Structure 1
Amino acid sequence: MSDAGARLFARYAYPPNLLGYCGPPSGDTLISSPADEIARRAQAFEGAWPYLEFLASRAGVDDPLDERVVEAYWIGNALVGRPDPADLHEFLRARFAGQAGGTWQQAADRAVAHHSFHVFEVYPWAALLRRTGNPSAASVLDRCRIRTGTVTEVSGESAQVTCHPLRWDGASLSPGPATTEQATWSANGQSLLPSPTPGTLVALHWHWICDILTEPQAAEIEAHEHRQLTRINALGATR
């Protein structure tokens, strides 16, 4: 098992687990757990774990928490584009049987083992947004996706981050104008990463800064999101 991969997984999985949205109970302990405990808990993430297993198996890697595999799912790298979409789709049909509400069951030609696909096509929120226009659905999508931002100010265990929230115009989703939000990078001394500094490029998940990014990593996240938004917006235009 890769300690680095386990800890990378914990950084991205911790924010929704802390809120009780996915993963096993006691989410507040995830980032303080040793790597072997993180690995055990990771298998209870019914959304993320199947993708890690799939990516590892198709890459010929024994460990679903190999750092390259974990990075592929949350951020994106060369491993993401290797599997055939139909192969992933068939795998997910077995693993997500009974998961209704999204568009993934019709996605045999576009399925990709990346968090953005799970957010926008497996979860029901994008389909719900198209049907109802409910702004709460847009808010959930915005928070649930991995989004990029730039730190402008740090104060204690929180920071001001400039990013582009999702905007729903009644027909399509797209990144809106830049705005500044407050995000947490540490709580009661429990942190996901060293203290960021102004100018740092970061990844955010829900209300947390979960990673410090390189420019190529930020570009990967944004490219995968652009792909998903283009496809779900096209689905809406044809209905």
Structure 2
Amino acid sequence: MSAEGALMFARYAYPPNALGYCGPAGAEAMLRGDATADIARRARRFEGAWSYLEFLASTAGTPDPLDERVVEAYWVGGDLLAGVSSESLVSFLTTRFAGQSGGTWQSATDRALPHHTFQVFEVYPWAGLLATTGHPQALSVLDQCRIRTGVVTAVSGETATVESRPLLAGPAGGLVPGAPHRETVRWSVEGWSLLPGLSAGDRVALHWNWVCDIITPDQAARIETLEARYHSSLRTPSA
């Protein structure tokens, strides 16, 4: 088990775990950077994410789903996504996600990717709900559940002000990045964080109301490029 891979997984998986959306109870354990073996055990109980990690690890020829390259490919993007068979992924997920209704993943044999954007926009039902009803909650969930990028403008204790671009319904249908706006997010809880610190000017990855990591311009570009694949394909009632 890669300790660095386990920590990277925890940085991105903690926020939905803390909100009760996925993973086992006791999300605070995900912030214990000195307990990577426990994080690795907990990671197996994130049924959706763990399925993709196992698929990526198998494709890459590594026995460790928490290999740092595997974890980064799922949350951020990376070379391991190149050459992945979409048809094979859908076949794999058909067994793992048996009985899971909603979404368009079962017909995605020409475009499926073992990346978090695919889980958000094609496995979860929210994109379909947005396309058929234009429901504002669906747009809000898609905006927050995706991994998005931002730049820190100020830090105050365990919160930070970050400038990011929200996801909006486009005037001609689909989804578009909105104008930059400022939001307040957390990066630490009662002194627990997997980041050594945070400063104004840091480029960061965000998941729900949490700063997951400080990222490079290349990592930010990968996140934004992979998400953009879905924007024009999602059609809202205004189309």
Unaligned runs of 5+ in 2: none
1:172 alignment partner in structure 2: 174
Q: What is the number of equivalent residue pairs in this alignment?
A: 236
1:37 counterpart SS class: helix
2:213 counterpart SS class: strand
2:141 counterpart SS class: helix
1:205 alignment partner in structure 2: 207
1:190 counterpart SS class: coil
CA distance in 1, matches of 2:155, 2:30: 24
Contact in 1 for aligned 2:87/2:109 (Cα 8 Å): yes
CA distance in 2, matches of 1:98, 1:212: 37
Q: Percent identity?
A: 57
Question: Residue 98 of structure 1: CA displacement?
Answer: 1.1
Question: Residue 72 of structure 1: CA displacement?
Answer: 0.2
1:148 alignment partner in structure 2: 149
**Equivalent position amino acid for 2:100 in 1:** Q
Q: TM-score, normalised by structure 1?
A: 0.95
Contact in 1 for aligned 2:174/2:233 (Cα 8 Å): no
Question: Residue 231 of structure 1: CA displacement?
Answer: 3.1
Q: TM-score, normalised by structure 2?
A: 0.95
CA distance in 2, matches of 1:12, 1:206: 10
Deviations 1:84-117 (A, max 9, x none): 1111111111111111110111111110010000
2:21 alignment partner in structure 1: 21
Deviations 1:14-66 (A, max 9, x none): 00000000011111221126111111110100110000000000010110000
CA distance in 1, matches of 2:232, 2:223: 14
Q: How do 1:27-66 residues align onto structure 2 when only pairs under 5 Å count?
A: 27-32=27-32, 34-66=35-67
CA distance in 1, matches of 2:144, 2:58: 30
2:232 counterpart SS class: helix
**Equivalent position amino acid for 2:205 in 1:** A
Question: Residue 192 of structure 1: CA displacement?
Answer: 2.5
CA distance in 2, matches of 1:8, 1:209: 12
Contact in 1 for aligned 2:32/2:194 (Cα 8 Å): no
CA distance in 2, matches of 1:138, 1:183: 19
Contact in 1 for aligned 2:117/2:146 (Cα 8 Å): yes
Of residues 224, 229, 232, the one that matches 2:231 is 229
1:182 counterpart SS class: strand
Question: Residue 194 of structure 1: CA displacement?
Answer: 1.9
CA distance in 2, matches of 1:65, 1:209: 20
CA distance in 2, matches of 1:205, 1:63: 24
Contact in 2 for aligned 1:81/1:112 (Cα 8 Å): no
172-181 vs 50-59, greater mean Cα deviation? 172-181
Question: Residue 169 of structure 1: CA displacement?
Answer: 3.8
Corresponding position: 1:102 with 2:109: no
State the Cα RMSD in Å.
1.4
Q: How do 1:155-194 residues align onto structure 2 when only pairs under 5 Å count?
A: 155-169=156-170, 171-194=173-196
2:117 alignment partner in structure 1: 116
Question: Residue 183 of structure 1: CA displacement?
Answer: 0.8
188-197 vs 199-208, greater mean Cα deviation? 188-197
Contact in 1 for aligned 2:29/2:39 (Cα 8 Å): no
106-115 vs 222-231, greater mean Cα deviation? 222-231
Unaligned runs of 5+ in 1: none
Deviations 1:92-143 (A, max 9, x none): 1111111111011111111001000000000000001111111011000111
CA distance in 1, matches of 2:92, 2:108: 12
Question: Residue 67 of structure 1: CA displacement?
Answer: 0.3
**Equivalent position amino acid for 2:22 in 1:** C
